[in-house]
Amino acid sequence: MPTVTLIATGGTIASVEDRAGGAVNAGLAGDRLLDTLHDRPEGIAVRVENVEARGSYALDLATVHGLCQRIEAALAEPDVSGVVVTHGTDTMEETAFLADLLVGSPKPVVFTGAQRHAGQPDTDGPRNLSDAIRCAASDRLLGCGAVILFEGEIHAARDVTKAHTSRVDTFRSPGLGKIGDIDGGVIRLYRRPARRLHLPAPRLGEGVELVMCGLGISPGFLHHCAETGAAGVVISAFGRGNAPMGFAAAAQRLVEAGVPVVVASRCAEGATMPVYGKDSGGITLRDAGCLFAGTLSAVKARLLLSVLLGRGAGMQEIASVLEQLDLGVDPTG
């Protein structure tokens, strides 16, 4: 009989209201989640580990790094077919992406959660959890890396994002779509992620900041990053990778101090590319020493930078990994 390890971290799936109409807080452990299943997958043994019963908005990088080590350790058990991680939806795409980078085992790592908490009669948690257990037990997902299973859809960690604040089909992979789905217990896989990297890191680099561009904002936060010793900065820029006036000069100051600055796009689809000039078009940002994230979202570019800094990577290696992750070439393979 296949065995799946369920690692429970909290989130809405593990939450109920403190009192009627009160705050919703995480607190249910993994065993309680299994008790709520009305459709418990037959023929699959489930082993439970509890990590942090917290909202995912309150997790930090060190906790998530430890979680990825636990995933790796669980997968190293010869009798374990795969791991399910229950997790809040707010930052699920980020933890899943970190697991995708850090965990080396080819066995399935399936993240899931809920949009409607466990105290609601129409909570979506139990169905998602049953489906996730089936996916983690299946060899169909071998080698696909970390995925998010939600509302019957299977999404690659690299591509997926939370797209809706409340709907149960919140997870989408803009421009690319799901890699598979599960329907009535039947798993269908349509494609395999082609752009994966395994980048184990002894820790995650702290102090990588994220700056979101808006029309006419000042580069003041970049100056703040330079003055407070940020380890790296990701700019969530306009379109192809352009920023408001003053950004290129402020970025150059950071780069000259040895701080990597990565330009991602705030668009949901497409790749960055230095095309425009003047203050602070993409060409000007590139000439100032900024690197470009390609199709990687700003939040995921920030995590990649944390992983690379945690590995002790310098500017050259960061540039090369960004390029190869974007084009789908595995520099470690």
Question: What residues act catalytically?
Answer: 12
Kindly report the number of other CB atoms within 10 A of residue 154's CB atom.
28
Among 56, 128, 130, 242, binds ligand ASP (CB under 6 A): 56
Contact 30, 50 (CB under 8 A): yes
Residue 125 contacts ligand ASP per CB under 6 A: no
Min CB(180)–ligand ASP separation in Å? 22
The backbone torsions φ and ψ at residue 211, rounded to the nearest 5 degrees and listed phi first, read -120, 120
Nearer to ligand ASP, 5 or 12 (CB): 12
Give the per-residue contact string, 91-120, with ligand ASP (x = CB under 6 A; - = no): ----------------------x-x-----
Nearer to ligand ASP, 167 or 203 (CB): 167
Among 57, 76, 142, 314, binds ligand ASP (CB under 6 A): 57
Q: Identity (one letter) of the amino acid at 132?
A: A
Nearer to ligand ASP, 32 or 140 (CB): 32
Query: Partners of 238 in the beta sheet?
Result: 242
Residue ranges in 29-91 assigned as alpha helix (H): 30-35, 61-76
Q: Which stretch binds ligand ASP (CB under 6 A): 49-57, 183-191, 247-255, 284-292?
A: 49-57
Contact 36, 126 (CB under 8 A): yes
Residue 151 contacts ligand ASP per CB under 6 A: no
Kindly report the number of other CB atoms within 10 A of residue 97's CB atom.
27
Residue 2 contacts ligand ASP per CB under 6 A: no
Tokens of 235: 């700019």
Min CB(175)–ligand ASP separation in Å? 24
Residue 123 contacts ligand ASP per CB under 6 A: no
Where on the phi/psi map is residue 236: left (φ > 0), alpha (ψ -120 to 50), or beta? Answer: beta
Min CB(221)–ligand ASP separation in Å? 25
Q: Which stretch binds ligand ASP (CB under 6 A): 69-77, 84-92, 208-216, 324-332?
A: 84-92
In the three-class reduction of DSSP (H, G, I as helix; E, B as strand; rest coil), residue 143 is classed as coil
Among 50, 81, 89, 138, binds ligand ASP (CB under 6 A): 89
Calculate ∠ Cα 9-64-234, nearest 5°. 130
Q: Using CB positions, name the residue nearest to ligand ASP.
A: 88
Residue 190 contacts ligand ASP per CB under 6 A: no
Consecutive H or E run containing 315: helix 315-327
CA-to-CA distance for 47 and 108, rounded, in angstroms?
15
Please give the residue ranges that form the binding site for ligand ASP (CB under 6 A): 11-12, 55-57, 88-90, 113, 115
